[in-house]
Amino acid sequence: MSQAWQSAVETHKARYREQIIDAAIELVAAEGVTKTSMAKLAQHAGVGRATLYKYFADVESALLAHVERELDECAARLAAATTEHADPLDRLHACVRTMLDYFASRRHRVGWASLDKADLSAAAMARLRTGMTRLHQPFVVTLSEGIAAKRLREELDPQRHGKLIFKMVASMQEDIADETLTTTDAMNTIWSLMTRGILES
């Protein structure tokens, strides 16, 4: 098999896989996971059932593939944000804003609605939590560099405080996804708390 042909085959497979994942998210968001059968998924994705099973064993597998795809997307956005700014404080601000903007995206909102209805298994939730840990790293690294550059307080613990900042940002996800909170308001709230604290000086 020629390299060009192999590349075309891989592109075709990737397109089918994305098509199936998108269809799973749409169906579960509309009908819930209990009403989303593999037969319905195949029909909605525009593929045969035999083709569907070549990619995913069940609907939950397709939903987990969506989670992994979204984690990759968010990680890529965070990586890009950290390279755009030389100053650690600017990078930290960019990381927070990047995550909030990501939560506000339509693709994320649809995906979140689907996962909220999916009642994922314990094993699937464990995979989701493990995947989320890599999103902490840009915050951890930025804090480490900020401390080294004397732009941030030296008593900060990069691992602990980086994870804490990430969790504070993540706590805004649901309100942003259901549009009860704007990304600007969320950004202002988080940044004010991070930089000014809650006590009078």
Q: What pLDDT is stored for residue 3 in this prediction? A: 72
Q: What amino acid is encoded at 31 in this protein?
A: E
DSSP 48: -
- In the chain, the DSSP E strands lie at none
Per-residue pLDDT tens digits of the chain, which is 201 residues long: 577 667 666 777 888 899 999 898 888 878 877 788 999 999 999 999 999 999 999 988 898 888 888 888 889 999 998 899 989 999 999 999 999 998 888 777 766 656 666 666 777 777 777 877 888 999 999 999 999 999 998 899 999 999 999 999 989 988 888 889 999 999 999 999 998 876 654
**Nearest one of 123, 140, 127 to 88, comparing CA atoms:** 140
How far out from the chain centre does Cα 20 lie? 19
The tokens describing 99, both together, are 């995550």
Half-sphere exposure of 48 (CA within 13 A, CB side): 3
CA-CA distance, 167 to 163, in Å (whole number)?
6
Q: What pLDDT is stored for residue 118 in this prediction? A: 64
Q: What are phi and psi of 46, to 5 degrees?
A: 75, 35
Q: What pLDDT is stored for residue 117 in this prediction? A: 60
Asked whether the beta carbons of 93 and 191 are under 8 A apart, the reply is yes
CA-CA distance, 30 to 44, in Å (whole number)?
12
The tokens describing 128, both together, are 């989701």
Q: Write down the domain spans for the chain.
A: 3-196
Q: What pLDDT is stored for residue 8 in this prediction? A: 66
Q: Tell the CATH topology of 3-196.
A: Tetracycline Repressor; domain 2 (1.10.357)
Half-sphere exposure of 100 (CA within 13 A, CB side): 23
The DSSP-derived string for 62-100 is: HHHHHHHHHHHHHHHHHHHHHHS-SSHHHHHHHHHHHHH
Task: Give the CA dihedral 199, 201, 86, 154, nearest 10 degrees.
Answer: -90
